[in-house]
Amino acid sequence: MNVLVIGSGGREHALCWKITQSKDLNKLYCAPGNGGISDVAECHDINATDVSGLIDFSRNMKIDLVVVGPENPLAAGIVDAFQVKGVPIFGPVARGAAIEASKIFSKELMKESSVPTAPFQVFDDYGKALGHLEARQVPFVIKADGLCAGKGAYVIKDMAEARSVLKELMVSKIYGDAGRKVVIEDFLPGIEASYLAFADGETILPMPASQDHKPLLDDDLGPNTGGMGAYTPIPFINDDLDREIRDTIMLRTIAAMRQRGIPYKGVLYGGLMFSGGKPYVIEFNARFGDPETQPIIFKMKGDLLPVLVACVEGKLNNIKELEWKDGVSVCVVLASGGYPENPDKGKAIRGLHRLAGRDDVMVFHAGTKKVNNQYITSGGRVLGVTAIGPTYENAIKKAYDAVAMIEFEGMFYRKDIGKKALMMR
């Protein structure tokens, strides 16, 4: 098979790395890719949202399967466009991707289908939303309806902050039309988790639950980012709790989409909060998570490509279960100085050769370019240093020992990835 992966981050590097191991692969392409991806795939400088350019490329290269990484092309209808042209593509159609692209669509779907989530109200009028805020008690949550690159949700702890956030979203429009409508919902205290599952419209195959670390600084302080690290599995999610998540959240959501005439194919990603021992959906995403994909895929045994094809063809029930390596997988993100607001670029990355060839450590590239055989930084999140070990302590130590072998000017990372797992046991 000739396969095209669309995207340029650590998630896409992990997918490309895994796909290259498939016995069914003939040639792997990536658009636009990054420095690390260029080592395992033929990269072409086509933007992930250039749908017509990607379709032309796929036809010229006789692509048998397209795998979409980022959310923006999914929301814009890239899957619909490829389907019209008869090119097999992994991911939900635009109406399915609305589960991430519109918080309102997602919340109303959950309410109608009894998927557990926080009580909420929707506003498209600034004055009415402000009046509602004044009558509430903190804490609560304000969310922009549309896509904001992971930055459109705010946990409100005082009323001055609430007024400021609402004005920024609905009046100043810091995220454009994404903040034209807002969701205001109850705050749920608890433990967050990411739960990803392959879906073919009817059947799902879950991946191990993982935990992302979104804030920039240790102990979950500082501004939110795209994610500073992740680990899998989560200690307290046993078989009974996993079954509850599958039945009351994932399968129920897939069924609700199907009832609306939307067979959901691709990855369904539930951002969960365990509050009072019960799982609630904070948000849904319509694609692989980043950085969760890195430790999850590094832990996966077997061939990923047949799973992706089965999702597209609606034949996931032919794959009885996925196999996973024993132990724990941990990913520590190395970021550029100035991230997330104004990341430095163009810094030489040193030390990667020290980790080459190991089967227990893999460095997934995100914001990198390769110039004259030298990797340089080209974005905010630069590398995802991922390790696997028999215990949480061992995997965490391996990951940070590997981090210590890498350097670039301004390199920054959290020192507490996986610490929460140690506290949960």
Give me 266's structure tokens.
């691709």
Give the residue from 304, 302, 353 showing the smallest Cα distance to 39: 353
- Name the one residue in this structure whose structure tokens are 């590097």: 13
Count the neighbouring beta carbons within 10 Å of the beta carbon of residue 420: 17
Q: What is the pLDDT along the chain (425 residues), one digit of tens a residue?
A: 999 999 999 999 999 999 999 999 999 999 999 999 999 999 999 999 999 999 999 999 999 999 999 999 999 999 999 999 999 999 999 999 999 999 999 999 999 999 999 999 999 999 999 999 999 999 999 999 999 877 789 999 999 999 999 999 999 999 999 999 999 999 999 999 999 999 999 999 999 999 999 999 999 999 889 899 999 999 999 999 999 999 999 999 999 999 999 999 999 999 999 999 899 999 999 999 999 999 999 999 999 999 999 999 999 999 988 999 999 999 999 999 999 989 999 999 999 999 999 999 999 999 999 999 999 999 999 999 999 999 999 999 999 999 999 999 999 999 999 999 998 87
In Å, what is the CA distance from 115 to each residue of 111, 279, 407, 423?
Answer: 6, 10, 45, 29
Look at residue 259 in the predicted model and tell me its pLDDT. Answer: 96
- Enumerate residues 6+ apart whose C-beta is below 8 A from 404: none
Look at residue 190 in the predicted model and tell me its pLDDT. Answer: 95
Residue 7, beta-bridge partner list = 32
Residue 363, beta-bridge partner list = 385
Give me 340's structure tokens.
């997330």
Residue type at 2?
N
pTM (two decimals) = 0.96
Rounded Cα distance, 197 and 411, in Å? 33
Rounded Cα distance, 252 and 248, in Å? 6
Look at residue 425 in the predicted model and tell me its pLDDT. Answer: 73
β-pair type (27-32, 2-7): parallel
In Å, what is the CA distance from 161 to each residue of 132, 168, 223?
Answer: 14, 11, 14
Look at residue 320 in the predicted model and tell me its pLDDT. Answer: 80
**Length in residues, the chain:** 425
Look at residue 150 in the predicted model and tell me its pLDDT. Answer: 74
Domains of the chain, first to last: 2-91 (3.40.50.20), 125-180 (3.30.1490.20), 191-424 (3.30.470.20)
Identify the H or E element spanning 110: helix 103-112
- Describe the strand order of the beta sheet including 140-144 as a list of residue ranges: 120-123, 182-186, 140-144, 153-156
Give me 274's structure tokens.
């365990």
